[in-house]
């Protein structure tokens, strides 16, 4: 279900007149079926690679969360359950509100939606507060990345957390 939503978002710019990049520039001409196939093939490669990385990381002490452009969790590895306490069955399909502390949700969603509209490559590493399953808010060293295609169109985000130290950056006090 989540993959279908992400495919829809990734390929939303496909119609009979071509694929349009932000600003309306046509980037591929002719052949809707071929454009759709190229779009889904690219998406499938990225998703397959991401799944392989996400599922391999729990033994390394890293929690990896992947969300689509709507903030719905699509990937949740064993490291997430170990650090945050939520099983994958509860997390996948939920929004990021599951792990964003209530007092930070408005700020989080404003930043998340801005990043999805205007993805930029930035180094966003900080000690990030996470609402854990036991109701406690704990900080983990984390890195946030927007996932975007070669045209700069966002199709999701990934957060990578560890409990093996601190970045020394605390953006929320």
165: left (phi over 0), alpha (psi -120 to 50) or beta: left
Non-local (6+) Cβ contacts of 173 within 8 A are none
Extents of the domains making up the chain: 2-162
Residues 53-83 have pLDDT tens digits of 455 544 567 999 999 999 999 999 999 999 9
Which of the 8 DSSP states describes residue 6?
Answer: H
pLDDT confidence band for 38 (50 / 70 / 90): low
Q: What is the pLDDT of residues 76-113, one digit of tens each?
A: 999 999 999 999 999 999 999 999 999 999 999 999 99
Q: How far is C-alpha 159 from the chain's CA centre?
A: 7
CB atoms within 10 A of CB 79: 22
Query: Which one of 1.10.1060.10, 3.30.450.20, 3.40.50.300, 3.40.630.30 gives the CATH number of domain 2-162?
Result: 3.30.450.20
Q: Dmax over Cα atoms in the chain, in whole Å?
A: 53
Question: Do residues 43 and 10 touch, judged by C-beta distance below 8 A?
Answer: yes
């Amino acid at each position: 279900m989540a993959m279908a939503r992400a495919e829809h978002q990734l390929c939303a710019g496909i119609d009979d007149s071509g694929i349009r990049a932000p600003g309306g520039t046509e980037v591929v001409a002719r052949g809707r079926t071929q454009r759709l196939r190229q779009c889904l093939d690219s998406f499938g490669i990225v998703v397959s690679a991401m799944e392989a990385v996400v599922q391999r990381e729990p033994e390394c002490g890293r929690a990896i969360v992947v969300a689509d452009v709507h903030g719905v969790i699509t990937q949740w590895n064993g490291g997430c359950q170990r650090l945050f306490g939520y099983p994958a069955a509860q997390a996948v399909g939920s929004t990021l509100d599951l792990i964003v502390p209530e007092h930070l949700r408005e700020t989080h969603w404003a930043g998340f939606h801005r990043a999805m509209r205007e993805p930029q490559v930035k180094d966003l590493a900080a000690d990030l507060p996470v609402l854990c399953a036991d109701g406690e808010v704990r900080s983990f060293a984390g890195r946030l990345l927007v996932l975007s295609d070669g045209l700069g169109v966002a199709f999701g985000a990934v957060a990578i957390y560890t409990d093996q130290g601190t970045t020394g950056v605390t953006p929320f006090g």
